[in-house]
Amino acid sequence: MDFLIKAAQLLLSLSILVVLHEFGHYLTARYFKIRVEKFYLFFNPWFSLFKKKIGETEWGIGWLPLGGYVKISGMVDESMDKEQMEQPVQPWEFRAKPAWQRLIVMIGGVVVNLIVGVLIYIFVVFGYGEEQIHTSDLKAGLSIHPYMQKFGLESGDNILEINDEKVVNYTDINAGLLIRKQRKLKVEHADGRTEIITLPEGTDYELFEEGIFPTVGLRHQSTSISLLAATKNSDTIGVKAGDKFFKMEGAVFGEFTLEKAKESTKDFLNLTVIREADTVDLPVAKNLVKFISWSSPALAAGLQKGDKIIKINNVDVLFFDDINDELYVNKKKTVAVTVLRNNEEKTVKVKVTKNGTIGYITNSVEVFDKDAFQHIDYSFGQSIGRGFERGVQTLSDYVGQLKFIFTKKGASSIGGFGAIGNLFPSTWDWRIFWLNTAFISIVLAFMNILPIPALDGGHVVFLLYEMITGKEAPQKVLEYAQIAGFFILMSLLLYANGNDIYRWLAG
């Protein structure tokens, strides 16, 4: 069900944006009296789900949900209609119009996507307002990734300014350090000292390669174990790293213990795990039950659902990040974890993984500094300025993160429809839906203007060449470029979605 809800949101969002993008081409073409032969949502090789001709244009819905298109008369496009291009030029055709008009037609879709993204931000800000958390209002400071200790930062510190600008939302710190090349921090330490810390050049790449994201967050005091989880794959029983142990034989995991499992008369027992947002049933042979423990250090050590972690290596634990800090500095070592169980203290030895985890999930509770949240409402006039600002920042941040694509880790992080779908929550939330749609609209605008043949940007390159030189690109060059662009796009599509499939299979 969770998958279907995410898929429905993704399909609706992309359908809206594709139709509006193609309308950008359609309206500009019609304005210059260029004939538009087809207008399709989704592609329709061999057959269409729906089609109706109105005037000179066939309107339809294809069966292949990979985008959409308008077929403009007299233009070399994905249809590769060479027969039409060999006929004499007609006054209603794309190729008959001045280069500047053809340029406007080609950028029409991109412009519409940018405008739509900004408009959505404006109306979301106007309708819902915004939540701000000024770090100067935090009493407990920030939860800071233990890797940042090498730079003089630790949990409990407050980052008051970044690059001389006051922090009004802690998420701006994460974006600033990783994407926006911001390295100057005004820090208030837990002891009250204020210090300016300037991170070294290249810290953004270092944090990306080490996987230090999010770098900062809000502190909470949830230290009780809600679910035990696997930290490594076990192909023997089908458990994947990240799986959360939910039920065994229909009973809450922990109540139906592994000892009871071994005493069962059944040959196979049903283990239910939570994998991402879905539940997955795994039939486990009774003689292989031991592999469940082997996949989780916390479970193997005897930690249980409901245990409250109070110490690690005799260091008192107050906040969740206190646990993370101690585990991180003791990676691949054995630590003493003291828990409160039924009002009694119990200490067990747990082997920490190379990633600084032991395999458990805490209860979900409110952040400690919940009073620091400020809800900001905007008038419609203010929403215009704020919405435009968010649109520009979204585009800037997206372009800024593309630098990581050219790293080994970045190339393997590229995602397709699965990654985009995971932007959406497993429950329908219209505010999040429209925010994600605004983001995708701006991303589509940028991707479409890239100078890749078969994309709008590829056509723009040839038109600019024509406008500068006064000569049209040869027809054969346009055709070969279109074919090459198609194969480039298909290769990128297969690679990105292949990454999604690989990550899903690898857990």
The answer to whether residue 267 is domain-embedded is: yes
Is residue 495 pLDDT above 80, yes or no?
no
Distance CA 6, CA 287 (A): 38
How far is residue 62 from each of residues 49, 50, 298, 418, 494, measured CA to CA in Å?
A: 5, 7, 51, 21, 20
Q: Are residues 248 and 291 part of one domain?
A: yes
Q: For residue 388, which amino acid is it? A: F
Question: Looking at the predicted structure, is the pLDDT value of residue 84 above 90?
Answer: no
Distance in angstroms (rounded) separating the CA atoms of residues 23 and 414: 29
Contact indicator for 485, 453 with CB cutoff of 8 Å: yes
Higher pLDDT, 411 or 157: 157
Residue 294 located in a structural domain: yes
And the tokens for 215?
């770098």
Q: Are residues 192 and 90 in the same domain?
A: no
Q: Is residue 410 part of a domain?
A: no
Looking at residue 477, its amino acid is V
C-alpha angle 394-395-400 in degrees, rounded to nearest 5: 100
CA–CA distance, 174 with 212 (Å, rounded to integer): 10
One domain for residues 232 and 208: no
Are the CB atoms for 331 and 354 separated by under 8 Å?
yes
Q: Does 367 map to a domain?
A: no
pLDDT of residue 78: 61
* 160-183 burial code (b ≥16 CB/10 A, e <16): bbbeeeebeebebbbbbbbbbebb
Evaluate whether 178 touches 202 at the Cβ level (below 8 Å): no
| CA neighbor of 426 nearest in space, from 276, 280, 214 | 276
In a domain, 386, yes or no: no
Same domain, 106 and 213: no
Q: Are 453 and 481 in contact (CB under 8 A)?
A: yes
CB proximity list for 307: less than 8 A, separation 6 or greater: 224, 225, 339, 340, 341, 346
CA–CA separation, 287 vs 276, rounded Å?
Answer: 27
Which position has the token pair 């297969």? 494
Sort strands 36-43 and 57-61 into parallel, antiparallel or unpaired: parallel
396 found inside a domain: no
Q: Partners of 142 in the beta sheet?
A: 218
Quick check: is 416 in a domain? Answer: no
Distances from the Cα of 64 to the Cα of 40, 47, 123, 480, angstroms: 11, 10, 32, 24
Amino acid 506: pLDDT: 63
Q: How far apart are CA 124 and CA 99, in angstroms?
A: 38
Token pair of 104 as six digits:
């406007």
pLDDT of residue 224: 94
Dihedral angle, C-alpha 72, 77, 82, 83, nearest 10 °: -20
Q: What is the pTM of this model?
A: 0.84
Tens-digit pLDDT profile for residues 111-150 = 999 999 999 999 999 999 999 988 999 999 999 999 999 9
Quick: pLDDT tens for 326-336.
Answer: 999 999 999 99
Q: Is 319 found in the same domain as 199?
A: no
User: Is the same domain home to 205 and 232?
Assistant: no
**Looking at residue 424, what is its pLDDT?**
86
Mean pLDDT of 284-290: 86
Domain boundary among the residues 362, 379, 401 is at: 362
Q: What is the DSSP letter of 200?
A: P
Q: Is residue 20 part of a domain?
A: yes
Distance, in Å, from the CA atom of 148 to the CA atom of 216, rounded to the nearest integer, reads 9
Verify that 231 and 350 share a domain, yes or no: yes
Q: Do 230 and 325 sit in the same domain of this protein? A: yes
For the domain that residue 172 is a member of, what is the CATH number? Answer: 2.30.42
Categorize the per-residue pLDDT at 79 as very low, low, confident or very high, splitting at 50, 70 and 90: low
pLDDT in tens, 139-187: 999 999 999 999 999 999 999 999 999 998 999 999 999 999 999 999 9
| 29/27 Cα distance (integer angstroms) | 5
Choice among 163-177, 262-276, 400-414 with the minimum mean pLDDT:
400-414
DSSP reduced 3-state for 464: helix
Look at 80 and 239; give whichever has higher pLDDT. 239
Quote the radius of gyration of the chain (alpha carbons, Å): 28
CATH at residue 317: 2.30.42.10
Is the same domain home to 169 and 255? no
Q: Is the pLDDT of residue 249 over 90?
A: no
- As a dihedral over the C-alpha atoms of residue 140, residue 143, residue 144, residue 146, rounded to 10 degrees, the angle is 110
Residue 57 backbone zone (phi > 0: left; psi -120 to 50: alpha; other: beta): beta
- Give residues with Cβ within 8 angstroms of 491, minimum separation 6: none
Q: Name the DSSP letter for residue 138.
A: -
User: What percent of the chain has a predicted confidence (pLDDT) above 90?
Assistant: 63
Lowest mean pLDDT across 72-76, 105-109, 490-494: 490-494
**Co-location of 143 and 33 in the same domain:** no
Task: Check whether residue 144 and residue 182 sit in a common domain.
Answer: yes
The last residue of one of the domains, among 218, 244, 271, is 218
Same domain for 468 and 443, yes or no, is yes
Closest CA to 359 of 296, 413, 445: 296
Domain that holds residue 455: 2-126+430-506
Question: What is the percent of the chain where pLDDT is above 70?
Answer: 95
Q: Which of 168, 198, 218 is the last residue of a domain?
A: 218
How many domains, in total, are found in the chain? 3
Task: Cite the DSSP H helix spans in 234-353.
Answer: 258-263, 290-294, 297-301, 320-329
269 contact partners, CB below 8 Å, separation of at least 6: 248, 249, 261, 283, 284, 286, 289
Distance CA 395, CA 110 (A): 13
DSSP state, 199?
P
User: What pLDDT is recorded for position 437?
Assistant: 97
